[in-house]
Homo-oligomer: A and B are copies of this chain.
């Protein structure tokens, strides 16, 4: 990471808002966790679990929500959303590393592709024919860009990213190592007892400001494109099947799989290790718990969980009932006895 500058609390609040309690001249040079912070650091409290760490922290200052503002005597910034505030302060202290432009001598660039002077192509990277790269694009070492790939300005691909021919990424993409964009979708048709491959003739279209995690796979479409809209954030080891559409600003945690032709709405939050079967429609603003198995379309915003998925209130009730079956069985047994007793009596 690049070396950080120093800022005083007053300068931070000037940029990001919030209210200072304590000395506004307190100098800060980095963000840190409450547990490991030192005097020159600003810590933050955004998760109740870490409240007990506040007492012992050696941080020079702290970012807090309004409800927690009285929990410490340290110089502090009080704000509405301490996690978001921390995100902004952390970005201030940890600007992205500048990458030197230029094409590494071991990179291979095919004919018909022009590399902008502001772009960087890493060691051993391969750039196919007719590839279009925007300004300031960074292609990491060992990346593979097939023919006619397009990557928008200011995007960064870390080492070892694979983009198959014809796939298009928007601006400011951030793609992590091992991600594979545009491999064939899993399209096969049964022909008597063997499988016949269906050509995957569509592509992948990825909007602006998309982050794609390590070893995540986004398959090309069978006919139309697989689409990932603007602002989508994908964690590691995610599978996006062919012709899926992921709506703008949806975030998906790691190890989740979305089968072919399913459409995910905008502003959804999908927990890790979820499985969503194919050909479904998921509405906007749907929240799906980790490890949920979604087998039917979800038409309404809300929170869902379970295997198979149901709205989270029903799911919680069903789980409680299941865990309560011992007592149900006991009540049943006791009634059977009471009833038998009565039947003998009369």
Contact = CB atoms under 8 A, between A and B. Distances in A.
B346 A224 contact: no
A335 interface: yes
Nearest to A160: B162
A275 B290 contact: yes
Interface string A283-298: 0000000110101000
A114 to B, nearest CB: 19
A272 B279 contact: no
Contacts of A273: 257, 275, 293
A36 interface: yes
Contacts of A195: 231, 233, 249, 251
B275 A84 contact: no
Contacts of A166: 1
A144 B122 CA distance: 11
B196 A84 contact: yes
A108 B254 CA distance: 32
Contacts of A233: 186, 188, 195
24 contacts: A1-B166, A1-B201, A30-B201, A36-B223, A84-B191, A87-B197, A87-B198, A90-B222, A91-B199, A94-B199, A94-B201, A108-B141, A141-B144, A144-B160, A159-B162, A160-B162, A162-B214, A186-B236, A186-B253, A215-B215, A237-B257, A259-B290, A290-B295, A328-B329
Interface of A: 1, 30-33, 35-36, 47, 49, 81, 83-84, 86-88, 90-91, 93-94, 96, 104, 106, 108, 122-124, 126, 140-142, 144, 146, 158-160, 162, 164, 166, 174, 176-178, 180, 183-184, 186-191, 193-199, 201, 209, 211, 213-215, 217, 219, 222-224, 231, 233, 235-237, 239, 241, 249, 251, 253-255, 257, 259, 267, 271-273, 275, 277, 279, 290-291, 293, 295, 307-308, 310, 314, 317-319, 321-323, 325-326, 328-329, 331-332, 335-336, 338-339, 342-343, 345-346
The 8 closest A-B pairs by CB, nearest first: A94-B199, A273-B275, A87-B189, A255-B257, A183-B214, A180-B214, A144-B159, A162-B177
Given A86-B189, A174-B197, A195-B231, 19 more contacts: A81-B189, A87-B197, A90-B223, A91-B199, A140-B144, A144-B160, A144-B177, A159-B162, A178-B180, A178-B215, A178-B217, A183-B214, A186-B236, A235-B239, A239-B272, A271-B277, A273-B293, A310-B323, A328-B329
